[in-house]
Amino acid sequence: MKAVVSVIGRDSVGIIAKVSAGCADFGANILDISQTVLDEYFTMIMIVDIEKLNRPFNEFVDYMSARGKADDLDIHVMHEDIFNSMHRI
Amino acid sequence: MFDTKDIIETISMIREECLDIRTITMGISLYDCQSEDPARLCSRIYDRIMSRAENLVKTGEDIEKKYGIPIINKRVSVTPIALMAGGLSADDAVKVAKTLDRAAHELGINFIGGFSALVQKGFTNGSKAVIDAIPQALAETERVCSSVNVASTKAGINMDAVALMGRVIRRTADITAERDAIGCAKLVVFANVPEDNPFMAGAFHGIGEPETVINVGVSGPGVVASAIRRKGDCNLTEVAETIKRTAFKITRVGQLVAKEASERLGVPFGIVDLSLAPTPAVGDSVAYILESMGLEKCGCHGTTAALAMLNDAVKKGGVMASSHVGGLSGAFIPVSEDAGMIEAARCGALSLEKLEAMTAVCSVGLDMIAIPGDTPAEVISGIIADEISIGVVNTKTTAVRLIPAGKVGDMVSFGGLLGEAPVIPVSKYSPAGFIGRGGRIPAPLQSLKN
């Protein structure tokens, strides 16, 4: 199972490091990262493997969201199935 | 791997265009709660609802978190109380309504539907008790919703029930007048009522349904309006195609949530209702979809055609996305719950007559419309009769949810998802003679299909 981590906010030093540290802490393995910076706004989409999470998925969602808020970033973690459902037949 | 464009599209649908799951509604059968003793009946109903729906809210919240999509309401619908109320008085039926309300508060659900009666051909003792109890029940409860089916294509129109419901709405408005007639916002009169509808105020657990069932209602008018705007200058064939594609995506999310809720709760999946349900939030409006197609204001000439196309395209797109589609499934046009409808009614672009025409081509009917507080019961019955006959003749569901409050031009407010509406005028001429005749309007020829 995979999840999509989306990060949106004002660009600053160390965003990827902070998000990656959170993933590592929960045992989420990063499979793919894509990022763009447009008009000082940073957008990152990260695909992570959540098979070996060391805590429940909901806690991972809450932690990343709170972590984002502390740095003025909008971080959302969503299970892959919502994207599969919507975009694949 | 995923396409970044698809990921961003899904995220912006949820974050910016108000895509949500409007409701997960658990249908619960109450048949074996029957008792001759009203107190025993109430306690059995309470226990049944509490045990079956114990984990509904928590499960909804967990799914919401997993997929990152808001699930706005968690609701319960129950067997029409009229079927349980054979030996009850109206006062006893009010006690049942209060029991439902208590269970709703304890469970933390938003609404509970099923204080209902089906009287398209006539009244049973139970349906009489429930209908007589409606005004007091709605005045003294917060989350209980009530519905009465007065007609069907098969049975025709029970005009005694139409006359009675005019008086019931009048009475409900009078005893909740100091709260902008809020009781009437929780009461809907139907023709051809569906038995698996997850939306309020008309939800109940129909007689052919299993013991317990999960039905899901999707939403997403904002997503459709944005997709049409992005499409820009194109012909209506392309607009219809865009709506279909968008409806497919929205409904797939509904199907995902319904399947997951059903598995987690160990309850069979019933249907996904693929209605476009607006909310008063800016950007979550069906009227804005119609305006994005090129109408200056919802309600102008051309509105019925635009709505007919929207309704049809939503169904065509949605039906392939779900294994079972049901409920009301179409575009809703509740005036007070839709920012664009509120504005169109306020500026005079949208009249009661135009709304009636629109209901011939879309889901439901005259919904959440504020009419003058002094409208006589017979006029309310006349409005019901007109709307119900559209449903009966066209073999579709129609419904009436009118709120008599204030004077023409006043704004009446119901709070939350129920929104606010400007009071719009009704005809000043009376249908009292016609309504007073009573009896039944026979079923139309369309009913003889066998």
Fold category of A2-87 in CATH: Alpha-Beta Plaits (3.30.70)
Query: Where along chain A do its domains lie?
Result: 2-87
Residue A58 has its nearest CB partner, among B10, B65, B252, at B65
CB of B62 less than 8 A from some CB of A:
yes
Decide if B68 and A32 are in contact by the 8 Å CB cutoff: no
CA-based nearest distance B388→chain A, Å: 37
Q: Among residues B112, B147, B109, which one has the least CA distance to residue B127?
A: B147
Cβ distance of A87 and B4 shorter than 8 Å:
no
B6 inside domain: no
Query: How many residues belong to chain A?
Result: 89
User: 């799914």: which residue's tokens?
Assistant: B63
pLDDT value, residue B1: 67
Q: What is the pLDDT of residue B167?
A: 98
Do the chains contact at B67 and A82, CB–CB below 8 Å? yes
Whether A78 and B6 lie within 8 Å, measured CB to CB: no
**Residue with token string 């894509």:** A34
pLDDT at B65: 95
Kindly state whether B26 is in contact with chain A, defined as any CB-CB distance less than 8 angstroms: no
**Interface pTM, i.e. ipTM:** 0.91
Residues B278, B405: one domain? yes
Tell me the mean pLDDT per 10 residues along chain B, length 450: 86 90 96 94 98 97 96 96 95 98 98 98 97 98 98 98 98 95 97 96 96 94 94 96 95 96 97 91 91 97 98 95 93 94 96 96 93 97 98 96 95 89 96 98 94
* Residues B277, B174 share a domain: no
Q: Do A82 and B253 touch (CB under 8 A)?
A: yes
Cross-strand partners of B366: B400
The confidence score (pLDDT) of residue B217 equals 94
Tally of domains in chain B: 2
Residue of B nearest to A63 (CA): B65
Q: Shortest Cα distance from B85 to chain A (angstroms)?
A: 43
Confirm if B317 and B244 have CB atoms less than 8 A apart: yes
Block residue for tokens 């269970």:
B103
Would residue B209 count as lying in a domain? no
Please name the residue of chain B whose CA is at the shortest distance from the CA of residue A33. Answer: B4
pLDDT at residue number B416: 82
CB atoms within 10 A of CB A83: 22
Put simply, the answer to whether A4 touches B7 (Cβ < 8 Å) is yes
Report how far residue B413's alpha carbon sits from residue B420's, in angstroms, rounded to the nearest whole number: 4
If one counts every other C-beta atom within 10 angstroms of the C-beta of residue B37, the result is 11
Three-state secondary structure call for residue B415: coil
The one-letter amino acid code at A44 reads: M
Asked if residue B139 is part of any domain, the answer here is yes
Q: For A47, which of B1, B68, B253 is closest by C-beta distance?
A: B1
The answer to whether the CB atoms of B4 and A78 lie below 8 A apart is no
Tell which B residues from 242 to 301 touch A, by Cβ distance under 8 Å.
249, 252-253, 255-256
What residues make up the domain containing B378?
218-436
Best of A45, A82, A88, A89 to mutate (most B CBs within 10 Å, chain B) = A82
What pLDDT score does B265 carry? 97
pTM score: 0.94
- Same-domain pairing of B311 and B424: yes
In this structure, are B224 and B159 located in the same domain? no
> Which of B1, B11, B253 has the CB atom closest to A32's CB atom?
B1
Name every chain A residue with its beta carbon within 8 A of the beta carbon of B66.
57-58, 61, 78-79
**Residue B250: closest CA among B159, B318, B336:** B318
Indicate whether B36 and B83 sit together in one domain: yes
Query: Which residue is closest to A77 within chain B, CA to CA?
Result: B68
Is residue B2 in a domain?
no
Single-letter residue type at B102: R
Is the pLDDT confidence value at A39 over 80?
A: no
Q: pLDDT at position B449, please?
A: 87
* Within-domain flag for B445: no
Q: What is d(CA A5, CA B18) in angstroms, rounded to the nearest whole number?
A: 20
Task: Using alpha carbons, list the distances in angstroms from residue B76 to B109, B173, B207.
Answer: 7, 25, 16
State both tokens at A28.
């989420």
Indicate the residue among B156, B173, B191 that finishes a domain.
B191
